[in-house]
A and B are shown apart, each in its own frame.
Chain A
């Protein structure tokens, strides 16, 4: 059902693409244009990837990005639909046919400008967006071939354009980033942005472009939020995030790290004493959930947040240089089936674990993780135990994890989410010997800011309540991203950041 398995070497893929490119050039030369039927026959270009055996031992990026030849072939698969259903599937409504058209014309700078009109983070989104559920889901090509995974690879093309731009920006005189640095006409208004993840970055950029003075507050020592501490290097190189943050600084956004709003300074003080005219809260969903089963506080049980932060932000994988230690795990059980679970499992592999087991209570079909991540994990040797749920974690006499008890499940009737509910099979308990357990069953919103800000309304899950323009119950205070949505995706957070920025700008007039 999906074509992401890497069966060819990068060199083969480049060679194959060149052959397709020659054929397409021939068709154009012969008939003047490529017919829809011919476009549908162009094979989807496979993403070149590091060899699984090799990448198990390094932190370098797994997906290597399209060769130019591949991007040119893939772009020709786009039918340039007049109604562009893909655009409706994108939370920030990138002009997808527009930028793909520019790729076919080999005008990558123009393609980048088109994306940049609506998205500030194409290098990030091209890598981590769940395109199969967004822009690529309604794609006409995928529909015609009756397989979403055969849609035009919009995300890979977006990444190609972003990476091309990153490599050529210094020589490019009409660089979009240079344009960003043009000082906007100052409005004299001060806006504070709380948090520095995707929602905050988008809001900060839009507000700065509109001429407001923008200050971003980040509790950690490095900005970028979940893109820095959560998503591993092998999926999103930190250099890419840092480049995006540097762009913000060049635009004139002031970034204050080591600043926890609610503790270092009260939110109300920022408004009443420090002269901020508006505040945007994009502080994310940073409170790890646990299962509340026996043994959860044993030595060797981690929230995925901790495990990943140690590796990603604190660079604990670099044992020769980093002071932050990380568990030297031998046999690992990862609990959960989302992208974070895949990140944790694949990080454990790279840190040298002999066995990594993902325990998920439903089946592969219901897994919230992207198919590509699941495939990659499997290629790297991660073992999946579907329809299993832990009942307790077992410790030795020194309180260290030595095993986990699992209960088998089977699928019953669909539940509220429309997915078939897993039903425990009585008496099917059995033990798995592990020395490390990584809990990755999601995050709730961190209550710190809300509890230190009287009058800020939340729903029953602790998420901040906002209206359609991201206005909270407090005047001058807006919110967006995971703190409003619950744990979601980079692109949805960006969409909200944009929404809030527009509302702030309008309200400040």
Chain B
């Protein structure tokens, strides 16, 4: 059993949980994820990126948004409750090196998986620019932690309630066309955001990694549900990813595949809300 040792709400529908999983805490590297399943018999398995880990305490930190049936169920669980199943760490760790000037773009909940990557990049000696994007001020998460590692922190909100009133691609474009052109970009956030970040950096030929959060069942390469088209080839997000060259990902296909179960998901969420 994987007990919830700490739970807090970071923003509307955004929760942080520390879950007891000593082996995962020990093995995980930046960029990896877990599959969690709140109930063994009828629960769904969903991937969540590991935001942080504490080897001494034997915990992993997950930050998630309650958007579907499973994340909504999870958000209703309390400190001390057991999560039935947690498998990980899965996926390949982020390739960390001293690239020079690195820009990390985190959209919404994407700040959670971005933090350990940004932290590792900073430790590797990179000059780090962080762009955080959110719909509004209340949805900006991990600002202080991000600020503590960034050489330059840019916050954008859609409604202008905090930082710049802009999409993240605006400062990204400025950086690419400016004097200190980035040597590498990492973008994690909603698929549409990653798509436009990749489109923004492409003309400047700045290598851009995106971390994909596709539909998965097992997370070990067995089901093939997470496949994406990268450079015309089929790749499995769970074992070949989750990070890919953003300039080569077929985002249209990925977005369509993410919607595979939309009618059923909405139905399940509806039922779930009625029962709450």
Contact = CB atoms under 8 A, between A and B. Distances in A.
Interface of A: 219-222, 229, 257-260, 263-265, 286-288, 290, 292, 296-300, 302-303, 305-306, 309-310, 314-315, 318, 321-328, 398-400, 446-448
A399 B223 contact: no
Nearest to A287: B221
Given A221-B37, A221-B40, A306 B220 contact: no
Contacts of A298: 253, 256
A229 B222 CA distance: 10
Contacts, number: 128
B167 to A, nearest CB: 25
A88 B45 CA distance: 43
A264 B88 contact: yes
Interface in B194-237: 217-218, 220-225, 227-229, 234
B224 A323 contact: no
A448 B218 CA distance: 13
B85 A303 contact: no
A257 B84 CA distance: 11
Q: Which one of A288, A303, A325, A327 has the greatest number of beta carbons of chain B within 10 Å?
A: A325
B90 interface: yes
30 contacts: A220-B87, A221-B45, A229-B222, A260-B87, A260-B88, A260-B90, A263-B220, A264-B88, A286-B222, A290-B224, A292-B234, A296-B234, A297-B228, A297-B229, A297-B234, A299-B260, A303-B224, A306-B223, A309-B218, A314-B45, A314-B217, A324-B43, A324-B44, A324-B45, A325-B268, A399-B252, A400-B256, A446-B222, A447-B239, A448-B239
Interface of B: 23-24, 27, 37, 39-45, 69-70, 73, 84-90, 217-218, 220-225, 227-229, 234, 239, 250, 252-253, 256-257, 259-261, 263-265, 268
Given A219-B220, A220-B218, A265-B23, 17 more contacts: A219-B218, A257-B85, A258-B86, A290-B234, A297-B228, A297-B257, A299-B260, A300-B260, A305-B222, A306-B224, A306-B225, A309-B218, A309-B223, A310-B217, A318-B42, A324-B217, A399-B256
Q: Which one of B37, B42, B87, B224 has the greatest number of beta carbons of chain A within 10 Å?
A: B224
A265 B27 contact: yes
Contacts of B256: 298-299, 398-400
A323 B220 contact: no
Nearest to B258: A299
Q: Interface SS of chain B: helix, strand, loop or mixed?
A: mixed
A321 B69 CA distance: 12
Given A323-B43, A325-B265, A446-B221, A299 B23 contact: no
A220 B222 CA distance: 11
Nearest to B70: A323
Contacts of A327: 260-261
Contact of A448 (B23, B88, B220): B220
A222 B257 CA distance: 27
B27 A288 contact: no
Contact of B87 (A219, A296, A305, A447): A219
A398 B250 CA distance: 14
Contacts of A399: 252-253, 256-257
A249 B70 CA distance: 30
A299 B257 contact: yes
B222 A309 contact: yes
Contacts of A260: 87-88, 90, 220
Contacts of B69: 323
Nearest to B44: A323
A329 B89 CA distance: 33
A399 B43 CA distance: 28
Contacts of A286: 218, 220-222
Ranked 6 nearest A-B pairs via Cβ: A399-B256, A325-B264, A303-B224, A286-B222, A306-B223, A323-B44
Given A287-B222, A297-B234, A325-B264, A258 B70 contact: no
A370 to B, nearest CB: 23
A272 to B, nearest CB: 15
B137 to A, nearest CB: 33
B253 A297 contact: yes
Nearest to A283: B220
A400 B256 CA distance: 8
Contacts of A400: 256
A288 B223 contact: yes
Contacts of B70: 323
Nearest to A266: B27
Nearest to A446: B221
Contacts of A306: 217, 223-225
Given A264-B89, A299-B260, A321 B224 contact: no
A257 B37 CA distance: 12
Contacts of A258: 85-87
A222 B44 contact: no
